[in-house]
Every structure is written in C-alpha cells, then in structure tokens.
Structure 1
C-alpha cells in the first residue's frame, strides 16, 4: 500500500480539515521538482544554505510533531541531534562500520536516549518539561566536551563522505540530492501521522487530556512514543550533519542549536509539518545574515551573541504572527478562494465559514415532539441485574475537608441509576473517583469485577467505562464529527507505525461512518462538519453524549447531560436513555432536574454533604424525609409536616 494514507476527507486536524491524499501527492511532487532544480540554479553560498536546510528540516519535523501535535515543549532537541551525529561519527571512525550501519546506529541511539529520559520526564507538564529538556541539552553538551571517548573539545573526525552506487557524494549539489529523499519520506510519514488515529488522539489530548483519557487514550504512553519518534528524526539529521561537516564537535550540542530548531518550528507554524521545512530554510538564511549583521551592530561580537538576533526574531514572530507562515498561507488561500467566489478549502480559517457555522448553530433546536432516536451499538458484558459497578466505602478528603464520606452503592447491569443531591453534595467528586480522574482517600471501585480506583481514566475506559462532564470538555481543534470519531478510539487498533505508513484508511473510514450515524440519530447530522466550538451550548452537550456513545460503553456515566438543553432536546435525550436502557446499557445519571431523574431512573442515590442519605426506588426516595430536608433546608419535623400536606393534596 502507498505511504500516502487514504483520508476520509472531512475530519479536521488542529489547523483545519484533514488534508486529502491528492493534496499531499501534489505538494510532495512540487517539492521534489524544486529539489531537482535547485542544484542547477543556486549559487554556491545558497547551495550551502540549502544543504543545511535539508539537514535541519529533519529534527525540525520531529520537533513540530512533538510541539504542534503532542503539545510538549522541548528545548533539548539538539541533544538528540548531537547523539545521532556523535554515534554515527564514532561508529564510522573508531569502529570502521559501513555507512548504512553507522547511520542506523545513530538514529537508534538517539531514540533509545529519548526513551530512557522520556519515561520519567514526560510525567512533567508545561514549563517543567521544557526546563527538564533544557537540562538534558546541557548534560549532553558537557558530557561530549569532557569525555575522552568523544574527543573532548576536538571532537570526532577522520572519516570520509559517503558513496552511493559507487559515486562519491563530494559536493553540495550531490549531498543535497542525497539528503532530500529522506526529507521527503520523513515529510510523508509525518503528514500521515497527523491524520492517523494516534495523531487525532494527540490533538484531542492537547484540547482536553481528561476527556481523551476518558475515551481510552493512554496519554503518557502516546507522548513517550512521539517523543521517541521526534528524537529519531533529530538523530537522522545528526547523521547527515556528521557526513556534511566531516567533524562532530561539542558545538553541535550547544543551546543555540535548540533555539534554532525551536525558531524553525515557530516561524513555520506549530502543528504544520510543511511549515517545519519552510522554517528550516528561513532560519538558515537568517543565520547567515545574523553572522554578518550582529558583528556590524556590536563590534567584536561573536558566538552566542548571535542568540540575541534569534531571540528578537522569535519574540516578533510570536507577537506579530503566532500562527507562523502556515497561518499566512491559510489566510491568503482562504482570501483567494473567497474572492473567486468558490467554497473555502478550510472552513475553520475563514470568516464566511464562521458566519455559516453561527447560522447553523442558531438553527432550530430538536423538535418538541421528536421521533424515537435510533439506538447506537450497545455493549452488554453482563446479564441484566448483575452488579456491574460496586462502590464500597468511597471517601475523599482534602486536608480537613471531607468531600465524600464513606459512600457505598451497587449499580446493576441494564439499569439507570440516578445520583442526585444539592449543589456541593459530592456527586461530581464521586464520578471523578469512579472514573479515575482523582484517587480516593479510601474505598474501592470495582468495575466488571476489577478494582479501578486510583488508576488512570483510560484503564476503565478501555474496559467500557465512559463518561461525560459537568463542564464541557469538547475537542475544539476538530469538528463535530471529529469529536464523535474520538469516541471510537478504543475500538481502533492502528498505532503510530501503521498511521505513519498510511495503513489504516479502512479503519478510519468505518469509524467515521459510525460517528456520522450516531450524530444523525441525535439530530446533529446537519452540523457534523462544523467546528465544535461553533455550536451553541446545548448542542455541544448533545455532541458530548454522542461521543460517549460512540465508544460503545458497558457503563455510561452522564454528569448533568441535560444542562443547557432545550425542551425538545431534553425529550430526545430522555427517549434515547430509555431506549439504551432497554437495549441493555447501564447508565449512572447525575442531574439537577430531580423530576427528570425520578422519571428515568430505576434506582436513585442521594448525596448530601458527601454522605449517602438515601438509596432506593424513585418513589421511596421521593418520600424520604432526609431527602426533603436536604433539598428544602428544613428540619425533620417540618419535612414530615410538608410531606403529609403533599400526600393530602395528592
């Protein structure tokens, strides 16, 4: 099968619709033609810049995947670049290994180093990870400078240029062609990854890590894999660097190299693989210019003073052009298409598309008397009535505050259990402990016979425990169908390797079709291709329910799903929940609309100040004096009196 993945065509990436196969082929073909022409037309100085642009494009592509896709800021990409270069040079010079073997060794060494340091470091987040990778860069730089095996400050040298089919690669034109095929292949692999199941999952993690994990995404493992892959790209760039300069010294691991790579990604546009290649060329041009400009402005300035120029450029790009060149290209292309009067290629990038989205979002709500919705596929791993979820002694303390106190209940399979209580009663905290979002202080949560308390949300999710959220957790970087598609994550099998090779087209297409069917059943088919953030609040709620149903859960936990819904949407959702219960799905429902819960639920549990005060059938709970006290704020005698009055009026 082709390296170019077959794409469904309508699901967006972080920056717009997923690019289709045709666009990738055209873009790569144009770049290949340019690569063929450059050595015949460029001057010697420009040719030198072009060669180093190709070399640094590889680590820039890796860093673009890490920062733009995985959302991890790394200031240590130069460390892996240096590890690849040093390993390659050492294997060539000291062990006299064949060039291909030495090259593979350099890439593998960089990836192994990334795996070893990534396992602990990627548990960090944000600026902590950036500082940790910065420290890694300094460690590698000092190690190669002080270690005799790496030649100390002299470095490794004495090996020759490579040969291809007996032809020595002894000039910049040939070396440019030597590197270019690897850049093109790396470009295609990276583009495929951004469209793949793993790429979409990483994009979702950037939007809402908790929501992604609740759909079965092991975010930590995925980030480690992308971190390691990014280092592989850097190591390969280091291999070509070692060949080009024919000497590897500690300068290759210095901080300014990481700054250059970061600048390439930012100038090109975060999340854009194409932008990384363009950014590499621009930064190499900038680097040559700064070598002449800085000494002219600051007499005698050399070395790291050049970083001043990089810093100024980086600041200006972030302030004036936060989306980089990719944003300029998208905006310009959208303007051209709009001026030509045709449909925009990227709806998310244009004001017209935003207007259309707002119009569609303002479309009439679901009808007041909707037909019964079609029921999506339901997973029923247990016979009706058997305990699918057992909560025993669940307690959560925050210092001296007890949010949930010794709560125990059992949820039978094939039933709807309502969990109600006044504001601040501990309902969402219970949900969070059951799903793994937070760890309980004490107590156990057993799902399908396995204890899941204190474990990450993806552990329960892969077994069929799925939830929605009180505060919307939509994936804003994609459209509505892309959100629901993510619900299919645990049903997919394609990993990073299959995604990069484009070997998952059928799986993607099948899951997207299922996602669209679910949206149609919930009257959201007309907005499937709109950006999720363009929908009104109520329809985003419905979308989140669709996303949860797409995972075919065994147990569905809904945290205030009717908040913000119109009357017609409430009826539609209530009809769906009844149909799902009849089909065998188990549901736990938290909702402020007590009457709606009592009309839907088979059993109801009531929390008040973190304590379970009632649990039973709806009518029994309705008549419980402790429940009336909790909701009305009266004492027990007044509650009894009000209850008698209600019974007399009834």
Structure 2
C-alpha cells in the first residue's frame, strides 16, 4: 500500500508532532526531529522515484546541495532574502533535473544509478573547488528565515517550517499516488510487474512521467537543502556527497521504499540508530571509526532478505489490528460520465491493414499481410505457433514499427505512429501475457484505461484539485467492471486474482478507454472451460453493443463460435480469409495445422 491507511491516528500524530516545540521537551529532541524531518523530505522523493517508479537514484543529496548553495550564495554574497534563495534553488534544481533526466531516464538497467552517482560526485567536487562558494570550507553566516516579523532562527521555530514542509510533501505525494498520473507512475515499475508497454498502450508517455517523478524528487531534496542551510546558518559540501546519497536510499529501503510512511520510519530509524551507534561501537571495538557503516550494511542485507518491502508495511499490519483503517471502497456511481468518442455506424470501414511487413534483420516475421475490419465485426487472427500473429498485433497497435506497409484506422493513417497515438485514435488492446499492476486494486487497474478520457496532471493531483475527475474515473471503472461481471471484486488486489479474472480485468481496462476497436491477444490462453465460456459470453455481449474486436487465439472451438470472419496466417504470410465454416473446410488450413483431419475434434490447435 502506498498511502497511509489510518487517517484519524495520522491526524492525531500530526497535531502532536506540530505541537511538540510548545511542550517542555529537551532541545535535543527538537534537534533530532529537525534532522528526521529534513531527511524525510529527501526520502519521500525516493519513495516516489525508486519505490513507485522503479528508478534508482543515488544523486538526491546533490539536489539538496543545489538548494542549500543557491540560498547560501544569494543570501551571503548578494544579500537577498532566503525566500528568494528558495525560489532560485527550486528553479535551478528543476532545470538541472530536467536536463539530467532527459539524458539518463531513457537508459535502462544499471545506467541510471551510475549516471546519478556521477552527477553527485561531479557536483560535490565542483562546489568544493569554487572559490566563490568557499571551496570545502563553504559559506558562513546565512541569515535566519523570517516571515514578516517572525524569525525562525531558533531550532524550535524552524522546526515548524521543516515539519510543515515534510507533512505537506507527504500529503502531496499521497494524493499524487491516488490519481490519474499516479496510476501511470505505479504501472512503470518493472520490479513490481509493470513496464512501459502497457502505459504507452493506454495513451501515456512513460518518459514524461519518469521525468515528472525525477523532478518532484529533486525539488523535495532541494527544499530539504534550503531548510538545512538556514537551520545550520552555514553550508559546506560534506552533507551533499555520495555518502549521503547512499544513506538516503538506505533509509528508503529500510523504512519501506514503496510507502509514504516508510519515508518517515526509515529516516527516524537510521538517524536515531546512527547517533547511538557512533557512541557505543567505538567502545565495543576500542577505537574511533565509522563502524556504523558496517552495521548498516549488515542491516540492509537482513532487510532485503527477510523484509524486502521494508519495515513500515510490517508496522501497518500491526496497526491494522488495533486501529480503524480508512475505507477506500466508496465509489460515487452517480458521478457524471466521462466524455465519450463518436463511433462509426455498424458496417462502416474501421481498420484497413495493407501489405504490412516486419523484418528483424534477415528474418521476415510478417510478410505482406492485408485484411479489413468493419464496425461491429469480430475478426479472428489464427495460425500455428510462430505464424506471426502477435507480431501483427503489435504492428497494428504501434508497439512495433512497420518495415513497410500501411495501417488505416477510422480513415486516418496510423502506421509510423507510436502506440499511445494509436490509442488516442480509438484502438485499445489486451496482452498475450497479462499486464496488470499486482499491488493496485482491480478498480485502480481498470481506471488506468480512463487515462485518455481525463486530463489532470501531477500538480493538480498534489493540490487535490482533481477529486471531481477522480470520482468520474472511478465510477467509469466500476461501470466497466459491472459490464464484465467483476464488480464484486473491485477492491481486491489484482495480483490476488486467478488468471481468468485477470484477463477479464484487462478487457475492462481496455473498455474504459471507450475504444472503437478492441484487440484481444490470446484472451482464452490458460483459462479453464468454465472461464472460457464466461469470457465468450462477455465478448458476445460486447459485440451486441456494437463494439468491434480483433482477436488472436489458439482455441479453435472458441474462435469458430465467436467470430464473423477469420484471417489465417502461416510462417508470417497470409494464407486465407473467410467465415468460420469456410476456414474449417479449407485443405490449406488443414495442411498448415500439421495435416489435422478435423480442426474441431479437439477444439484446439
């Protein structure tokens, strides 16, 4: 779970936290909490970037350094206000994050972590060697932050700035994750069953959302650096090097890298443990040294082995036994419907595929395939294993680029366009291997399909300005679930469903985009007989409602009873096209299927 599930206890804890400086508690407590709040701001960015988006960054300390040095230079050298320092820091950080993100976020595997390490090292040595920034001695005498006549010079005063920023950031990230852009972000994490193919097929630019996450994480780190500089009243390169970049990531992993609460839990645990270890370990080992690093390394291995989701999910489960949890099941089905596209009348030309070809080097996977679909038809695409059916699907839907040929959808050429542009034109699809986000509910997965019918962005989501649109999206998702008979499982985690219901959820998600043409890639694969019958009934209902379908399927009994026409492929070539009886009677088709005497004897090829 990415959101805090206990609103009333969270509200009580917030009131207590913000009122703590007014109580007669030791100053040391306030100091420790100030550092925890500063660290939590940075770690919240990593929760979004790494835990949700699956993008590992070791460079967040460097972005904190940008915020600290921007305000340090402007206030000490130019004599400007700290608030101008914050604005300047945010502007510089956003520009740097956009530039670095544009260069690195297209990379996969280990390249992004390596790039962020290089960025962190580069900034550390740059500011350490610039005379104007005081080199490694840094800048001294930063003024206190003031707001009117109120000065935040004391630690008890700046405490409110630090924790106000941290709690507002937590609220913003929580809202973001429960929104239109947040669902796309959560679908990007390949480590949690996501990736770029499905979000792109829903019409979203995955690079754009990776950039958004990268910039938000950098801005949160920048705010932390600004607050740190004015709390310390000085700034030097030490807190912004690679060591702290690694520690921030360590805090996120230990606390719970996919949870908002984990950011605070990890920051608190690591900060308090580090202070105690620095006292006790030298006594144990009989000398000074950074022994805490050894302990942290051992703890990280143990956490990854025994609690890979971090400690906060364990705490949440314990709290769930004694505290009232938030009821997230409310769906306002009276919300106004989302805007719908205009669909062609039954019988109108819908899809025209003309001599499409795909080569992978010297291998011709699809060789000049042509077929047409008219509105209201169900067309099957069949052939033996390796015939090129799924490749043809990927060419039509824009997942793969054509080598040559033309594809026309609703009268407009879509060949040469990416999958998200084709989705905007009115095509939606499912996948041969189910692509759901397992740790999102069924309702949230289906709401992903509403992406092109909604507009709210990340800023609106973080400010809570998208709630009306969210109610519409959730209502639409529930309507589609009722349409396929899965409304009673709307609040189950998608990863908990069997394969049959998961395939139906994919269909519901595709329907939520209000397509004119639905592509189904082996929808009956792996289903039991009863599940296939239920799926066939759903597809017949969709046809009766006027929806057009193109499906790839191996189960011949399923295809023959459902389709109006069938296109047969063999070794990437067009073999024949006709009605189900014509295909069943064709000697060429029988020969393609290993000389089978009767395609319907077993009902499966």
TM-score, reference length from structure 1: 0.84
1:132 aligns with 2:94: no
How far the C-alpha of 1:539 sits from its partner, in A, is 2.0
Contact conserved, 1:378 with 1:585, CA < 8 A, in 2?
A: no
Shift of 1:200: 1.9
Residue 200 (structure 2) pairs with residue 213 (structure 1): yes
SS class of match (1:96): coil
Residues 4 and 260, structure 2, Cα contact 8 Å, conserved in 1: no
For the residues of structure 2 that align with 1:492 and 1:19, how far apart are their CA atoms? 25
User: Does structure 1 residue 480 correspond to structure 2 residue 439?
Assistant: no
Q: CA deviation at 1:567?
A: 4.5
Q: 1:377 to 1:492 in 2, by over 3 A?
A: closer
Aligned residues: 588
Matching of residue 443 in structure 1 with residue 443 in structure 2:
no
Shift of 1:296: 4.2
Distance 1:455 1:88, change over 3 A: farther
> Quick one: structure 1 residues 321 and 536, their matched pair in 2 at CA, closer, same or farther if it must change by over 3 Å?
closer
Distance (Å, rounded) in 2 between the aligned partners of 1:383 and 1:308: 69
Preserved contact between residue 380 and residue 584 of structure 1 (Cα < 8 Å): no
Distance of aligned partners of 1:539 and 1:165 in 2 relative to their CA distance in 1, 3 Å threshold: same
The answer for the alignment partner of 1:93 in structure 2 is 76
Say if 1:603 and 1:617, in contact at 8 Å, map to a contact too.
yes
Q: Deviations over 1:84-139 (max 9, x none)?
A: 11111111122222221111111222122111111121112343221211111111
The counterpart of 1:556, out of the listed 492, 514, 518, is 518
Question: How far 1:419 moved relative to its partner?
Answer: 0.5
**Does residue 275 in structure 1 map to residue 300 in structure 2?**
no
Q: Which moved more, 1:436-445 or 1:289-298?
A: 289-298
Distance 1:454 1:346, change over 3 A: farther
1:475-508 superposed Cα distances (whole Å, 9 cap, x missing partner) = 2112222222222222121111111111222222
Find the counterpart in structure 2 of residue 319 from structure 1. Answer: 305
The offset of 1:564, in angstroms, is 3.8
1:284 aligns with 2:246: no
Q: Which one of 606, 609, 612 corresponds to residue 571 of structure 2?
A: 609
Deviations 1:500-552 (A, max 9, x none): 11122222222222222222232222222222222222222222222211221
Deviation, 1:299, is 6.1
**Is 1:539–1:565's contact at 8 Å kept on the other side of the alignment?**
no
**8 A Cα contact 1:265 1:275, kept in partner:** yes
Query: Residue in 1 aligned with 2:334?
Result: none
Task: Summarize deviations over 1:128-174 as a string: whole Å, max 9, x none.
Answer: 22121111111111211223333222222232222233233332212
**Aligned partners of 1:93 and 1:158 also within 8 Å:** yes
Q: Residues of 1 paired with 2:288 and 2:430: CA distance?
A: 58
| 2:445 matches 1:458 | no
- 1:29, distance to aligned residue in structure 2 (A): 4.2
CA distance in 2 between counterparts of 1:306 and 1:571 reads 61
Q: 1:62 aligns with which of 26, 45, 55?
A: 45
Which residue of 2 is the match for residue 365 of structure 1? none
Aligned to 1:503, the other structure's residue is in SS state coil
3-state SS, counterpart of residue 394 of structure 1:
strand
Unpaired runs of 5+ residues, structure 1, are 1-13, 338-342, 349-375
Deviations 1:160-217 (A, max 9, x none): 2222332333322122123222222212111111212211221123232222322222
Matches of 1:386 and 1:150, distance apart in 2? 69
Partner of 2:140 in structure 1? 157
Matches within 5 A, 1:411-430: 411-430=373-392
- Structure 1's 482 and 85: CA in aligned 2 closer, same or farther, altered over 3 A? same
Partner of 2:16: 33
What secondary structure is seen at the aligned counterpart in 2 of 1:324? coil
In 2, Cα distance between equivalents of 1:218 and 1:632: 43
My pick for the range that moved more, 478-487 or 419-428, is 478-487
RMSD (Å) for aligned C-alpha atoms: 2.9
Aligned residues of 2:82 and 2:143 also touching (Cα < 8 A): no
Once residues 297 and 415 of structure 2 are traced to their aligned partners in structure 1, the CA distance between those partners, rounded to angstroms, is 47
Q: Retained in 1: the 8 A contact 2:153–2:231?
A: no
| SS at structure 1 position matched to 2:137 | coil
Q: Give the drift of 1:241.
A: 1.0
Aligned residue for 1:424, secondary structure, equals: coil
Cα distance change of structure 1 residues 66 and 46 upon mapping to structure 2, 3 Å threshold: same
* Aligned counterparts of 2:33 and 2:500: Cα–Cα separation in 1: 52
Secondary structure, counterpart of 2:136 in structure 1: coil
Q: Distance in 2 between matches of 1:505 and 1:347?
A: 14
Which residue of 214, 225, 228 maps to 2:215?
A: 228
Where does 1:238-387 land on structure 2 (aligned, <5 Å)? 238-293=225-280, 295-296=282-283, 301-302=288-289, 307-336=293-322, 379-387=341-349
Distance 1:216 1:623, change over 3 A: same
Q: Return the offset for 1:467.
A: 0.7
Q: Distance in 2 between matches of 1:233 and 1:520?
A: 41
1:622 aligns with 2:605: no
Alpha-carbon spacing, 1:323–1:208, altered in 2? closer, same or farther (3 Å) = closer
Is the Cα contact below 8 Å between 1:377 and 1:552 reproduced in 2? no
Cα distance in 1, alignment partners of residues 160 and 321 from structure 2: 35
SS at match of 1:190: helix
Paired with 2:8 and 2:414, the residues of 1 have a C-alpha distance of 46
Larger mean Cα displacement after TM superposition, 226-235 or 282-291 = 282-291
